[in-house]
Structure 1
Amino acid sequence: MLSKYLLLTSLICTPLAANEIVFTSTKIQIDGIAESSWDQAKWHNMSHLIQGEKPSSDDFSGRYKVLWDNQYLYLQAELVDDVLIDKIADPLDRYWDDDALEIFIDSDASGGNHQFNHTAMAYHIALDNQAIDIAEDKSPRDFNDHLISQWKRSSTEPNHIIWEVAIRLYPNDFTDAKPLPAIPLVAGQKIGFMLAYCDNDGSDIREHFVGSHAIKPVNGDKNRGWIDAGVFGQYTLKNQ
């Protein structure tokens, strides 16, 4: 009897694995405010330098949580950035050289090259919450209808912001000519996911590009997420 009780207790108390994303039964409000629903999710660090120089913790640091329901993958990023810059007015022009949150999504964790197709997405979300990725014609376009984004600066620590995003996932055969509807999310589904931040402190180009996952360089280049979905982390949607 005691052994059965211990087994049951261990099942109930099993912590969420690092590669699992927990379900939320409460819809997340995308408002840059961390409500209690986020308490069930684990923090993950953004500490891997992808490009540029590694910033000091006062210049930039970040961590994030992820939740899901049947409609959306929810992201909450807690960021420290001492200078917020959106100097290029045209959202399709050099969007990677302004401060931007970049979300990489592969809806079935199949990996592969997605540079000029939509088998995976690399959403560059600017400070005005516009989301840009490369289209199949090799030009940038907005995918604002794929997600909802909002960030808010802390009232007590002005360098701290909370950035929340609700992201819809799309099938591998989504194309610009045939924009299929978003797919429902289900428990047990495997997805590819990675998060990064473009940090500019006033230069002509971004000074730092920092992400959530270590990337093996190709010819010395770690900036592979916008090309190869195989560098994303792989996660399982968990119903808890």
Structure 2
Amino acid sequence: MKNIYFYIVVGVALFCFNNLYAFSSIAQDDTVEVPDVSAVPVIDGTGDDQCWQNVPWQSIDQVWIPYDAGFTTDDYSGHYKLVWSSSTNLLYFLIEVNDDAFVDGFIFGQTADVYNFDISEVFIDENTSGGFHIFDATGNDTLQLGSNAENAFTYHIYADFPDVGQATTDHYVGDLDGRNWGNVQNPNYASHLPEFALRKSGNVAVWEFSLIVYNDTYENNNVDPARVVLTVDKVMGLSVAYCDNDNTDGQRDNMFGSVWEPSPGNLHWQNADYFGRVKLVSNITSVLDEQKTQHVSSIKIYPNPVSSSSQLMLSDPYTGEVLIRIFNILGQEVFQTSALKTNQILTQRLSLDYLSSGIYFLQAQMGRNIYSEKFIITDKK
């Protein structure tokens, strides 16, 4: 009888262990390798693009609030993927969360603070400088919280959860700025995420978005000089988190992060010393990538640099409608047209007289696949 009782106790303990995680469970990789992808994802909240298939999930399961608490996977589980594109100069995120209750309803200036709703968060320090990053103050103590608010960014990414089978693209991205607690500013950095989609199905929500990376010289009224050109081997501070509220009481119940933090937890919003690390790498080689390369043989813009007009040439077995879009270096769409591709090669003339000189990115969407090419417009003479 004692032996039977022992086995029952052990079985219950093992079940609880498998469904209960403490703060020291599985964090994101010590340095997450982020691959450069030739075909960027279609931002629709489905996450079924080929570029995501070869990238491992990174866990978001370190308990920051309440610190050192356990949780069950019936209540919450979450993870994310990350890629980048040298053609579009953007990071791309895929975040998937399983939550037993999703709470929205945030309205800036009217409801509780945004972190008291179910939101995803991205923390990024593009040069891994670390340190406080709340205010443009005169020092780095716990009251002044930094001398440069843009030393790192804390993106609180909010959107209302859509109906099942639908996606929403409307989003609010909050952060803190100002000189001190008596001069707090709350900029909306939604433009830093030029493409965004949130989709929900049952207890699973998927955030998919692109992100422009800025450095610590960022000024709200002049953002262009602060945009970072992403390159292979660049290392950045980066973590992902999820705020969880299981009730409509305007009070956050839990916060989960992708890296461990020391006590008392929830330190990222103040100090970039605790951010994880990511490294931009070249393409991940796989059988699927090789198949993708064989499928798409050529995308070319000529001449490049461009003075007034240019030709786009696509060589690919695909036939059907091609959506052609051009984005400036801020990720803003400045041109859109479509063409019907009936043969192996499509040639399309692009009139670009109205665009100012600078760096641009062309995207050609063929079915579910998107292919990109960077080009330069020179001064007109």
* TM-score computed with the length of structure 2 as normaliser: 0.54
Q: 1:149 aligns with which of 196, 205, 208?
A: 196
* 8 A contact 1:23–1:239 mirrored in 2: yes
**Aligned counterpart, 1:25:** 38
The structural deviation recorded for 1:17 is 8.5
One-letter code aligned to 1:97? N
C-alpha spacing 1:91/1:153, structure 2 compared with 1 (3 Å) = farther
* 8 A contact 1:151–1:162 mirrored in 2: yes
Q: 2:158 aligns with which of 103, 120, 126?
A: 126
Deviations 1:145-185 (A, max 9, x none): 1013211123xxx1012211211100111133543442221
Percent identity for Structure 1 against Structure 2:
28
For residues 38-49 of structure 1, the aligned pairs below 5 Å read 38-49=52-63
**Whole-angstrom distance in 2 between the partners of 1:152 and 1:74:** 16
What are structure 1's unaligned runs of at least 5 residues?
A: 1-15
The structural deviation recorded for 1:136 is 2.8
Q: Give the CA RMSD over aligned residues.
A: 1.9
Q: Which moved more, 1:25-34 or 1:49-58?
A: 49-58
The secondary structure found in structure 2 opposite 1:38 is: helix
For residues 192-231 of structure 1, the aligned pairs below 5 Å read 192-202=237-247, 203-217=249-263, 221-231=264-274
**Aligned counterpart, 1:80:** 98
**Whole-angstrom distance in 2 between the partners of 1:103 and 1:30:** 17
User: Do structure 1's residue 96 and structure 2's residue 115 form an aligned pair?
Assistant: yes
The structural deviation recorded for 1:127 is 2.2
**Aligned counterpart, 1:61:** 77
User: Do structure 1's residue 233 and structure 2's residue 276 form an aligned pair?
Assistant: yes
The structural deviation recorded for 1:85 is 1.1
What are structure 2's unaligned runs of at least 5 residues?
A: 1-28, 136-148, 161-170, 284-381
One-letter code aligned to 1:228? N
User: Could you say which structure has the greater relative contact order, defined with CA pairs below 8 angstroms and 6 or more residues apart?
Assistant: 1
For residues 167-186 of structure 1, the aligned pairs below 5 Å read 167-181=211-225, 182-186=227-231
The structural deviation recorded for 1:83 is 1.3
**Whole-angstrom distance in 1 between the partners of 2:281 and 2:96:** 23
One-letter code aligned to 2:260? A
C-alpha spacing 1:201/1:91, structure 2 compared with 1 (3 Å) = farther
* Greater gyration radius: 2
* 8 A contact 2:44–2:197 mirrored in 1: yes
* 8 A contact 2:96–2:205 mirrored in 1: yes
**Whole-angstrom distance in 2 between the partners of 1:132 and 1:199:** 17
The structural deviation recorded for 1:237 is 0.4
**Aligned counterpart, 1:163:** 207
Matched residue pairs, number? 219
